[in-house]
Chain A
Amino acid sequence: MAGTSTVQPNSSFLELVEQRSGEPVSRCYQCRKCTNGCPLAFAMDWTPNQVMRLVQLGQADRLLGSHTIWICASCQTCTTRCPNQIDIAHVMDTLRQLCLQQQAQPGEPAVVKFHRAFLSSIRRYGRVYELGMVGRYKLSTGRLFDDMRLAWAMFRRGKLRFLPESVRARHEVRDMFARSADKTASQQQAEPPRSQPPAECPQPPGRSNSSSE
């Protein structure tokens, strides 16, 4: 995938990502500080600097189906070091959200399922109930017996509670989730289709004339 295939630049995806994230991805000039500091670059299919480039070139399919956006642990090293003040970890958030909203197949389904299980626990109790969350994650991934030794060792040490703790004002937390679900639904209708027709004539690589700041 990363070889010498021809790329049709497409600025509409760059505009979408810049507008959704508020981050000036156009500014990236490929200094690679992000990738040099990234602790997980070795496990990514596209390194952080390549992600910035692919956004500039409008390569939505490559990005939204990538492993990278789910391997990123949001450690914020790239964001801290970018000389152009691009909050790269925030751009990763935006790409993850676009992946889910546009129903692209996530490159790391288990990571998505973990975070879904985590959020579902918050929605239900207002706090994370680890035992329930891990159970839900295991059921959704079918990884029933992974880390069993570890889970037992945690349990023995009293590190996993039997029963959930719950906030009293659960409705307040549920309202937050309800607003989030409404917004996601309306965005799904409003988003343009992901695969754009190729631009009529190739633009200079990676630049659209507008800089949205």
Chain B
Amino acid sequence: MEVSYYPGCSLHSMAEEYDESLRAVCQRLGVKLCELDDWNCCGASSAHFFDEQLALDLAARNVQIADRAGRNLLVPCAACFQRLKAASKWMRPADEEQHEAPSAKRQSAPSGSRCETIYHVNEFFEQPHLLGRLQGLVCKPLRGLAGVAYYGCLSQRPPRVTDAPAAENPTAMDRLMETIGMQVRSWSYKTDCCGASLALSRPELVRKLSGDLFAAAQEAGAECIVTDCPMCQTNLDSRQVEIEAERKTRFNMPVFYITELIALAMGDLQAGSWWKKHFVDPVPLLQSKGLL
């Protein structure tokens, strides 16, 4: 099975371990990731803050490349996913989509081929034929590892863009975590914001929001946070020491990408190289559970 792949800027830099672990999982599942040829940045929040047409143009170029490739598209970064979904809806307005400019008509790819579905990570792995295979490949279930699923904002909201089936209480990642043997703790902060792009300009706000997430995860009995968003992972992982100092408490809570844990549960030996990229060292926790 082949799928087009849009890594986005983060997975080529800050979130390399997300890219590598996703590739490792896909390889084991027999999914060939075909990186979009000459993709460009989706524009992230910055473009739509300043100019909506620029934001749509930047994202739409990638959807056009995916259309030409004629395969479904996997977008693991939540922000990129939301921007590319928004652009594809703008290019192909459905009848019920009244909020977009009426002048914006779909430009079809020359060959008539097109990318039918844009997937974020969890929904991609939840496709029945892949989920069955994934279950079969779990040779080292992560028993005893207690975590919360943290989805953040943009893979879910707004649902008329993302098509999220339950934007206020998503469950796809929770199910994947159960599939790989984890103890999934329930909490009500699944889709609360980490502070996102305020990280450099107003870091104290990110420390407040991310700190509230750690406190809630700890209260829920989690030993780690599992996410599918590079922005969330970076904010939570890299700011944790500062947050602990500010709150005079200790969280010591590794923040994993869901794909890192799936690969670990599949017995992937590359996993060791990803832990070195983390700010909060996950090795002691994984060792204490007999998982390394």
Contact = CB atoms under 8 A, between A and B. Distances in A.
B277 interface: yes
A127 B48 contact: no
Contacts of A172: 40, 61
Contacts of A177: 54
Contact of A160 (B14, B158, B197, B200): B14
Interface stretch (A4-12, A28-36, A161-169, A196-204): A161-169
State the majority secondary structure of interface residues on B: loop
Give the size category of B's interface with A.
35 or more
14 contacts: A75-B196, A93-B48, A111-B198, A114-B46, A122-B47, A128-B9, A130-B14, A146-B200, A159-B277, A168-B38, A172-B40, A180-B50, A180-B53, A183-B53
B226 interface: no
Contact of B14 (A108, A118, A146, A154): A154
B283 interface: no
Contacts of B43: 122
Interface stretch (B25-33, B67-75, B201-209, B264-272): B201-209
A87 B157 CA distance: 11
Q: List the 5 closest pairs (A to B, CB-CB), nearest first.
A: A76-B157, A75-B193, A115-B46, A128-B9, A118-B46
A52 to B, nearest CB: 17
A137 interface: yes
A161 B197 CA distance: 19
Contact of B58 (A71, A73, A176): A176
A158 B50 contact: no
Contact of A76 (B44, B52, B158, B208): B158
A126 B290 CA distance: 44
Interface of A: 22, 39-40, 43, 71, 73-77, 79-80, 87, 89, 93, 96-97, 100, 108, 110-111, 113-115, 118-119, 122, 126-128, 130, 134, 137, 141, 146-147, 150, 153-154, 157-161, 165, 167-169, 172-173, 176-177, 179-180, 183-184
Interface string B189-220: 00111011110111101001100000000000
Nearest to A173: B40
B192 to A, nearest CB: 6
B41 interface: yes
A119 B39 CA distance: 16
B85 to A, nearest CB: 12
Given A75-B193, A76-B154, A147-B203, A161 B41 contact: no
Given A77-B153, A93-B52, 7 more contacts: A73-B196, A114-B197, A122-B43, A146-B203, A157-B278, A165-B12, A167-B39
Of the listed residues B13, B101, B153, B205, the one surrounded by the most CB atoms of chain A closer than 10 A to its CB is B13
A97 B157 contact: no
Given A159-B16, A167-B38, A137 B46 contact: no
B14 A147 contact: no
Of the listed residues A22, A43, A150, A173, the one surrounded by the most CB atoms of chain B closer than 10 A to its CB is A150
Contact of B193 (A73, A96, A160): A73
A77 B238 CA distance: 25
Contacts of A89: 158
A202 to B, nearest CB: 32
A157 B281 CA distance: 12
Of the listed residues B41, B200, B238, the one surrounded by the most CB atoms of chain A closer than 10 A to its CB is B200
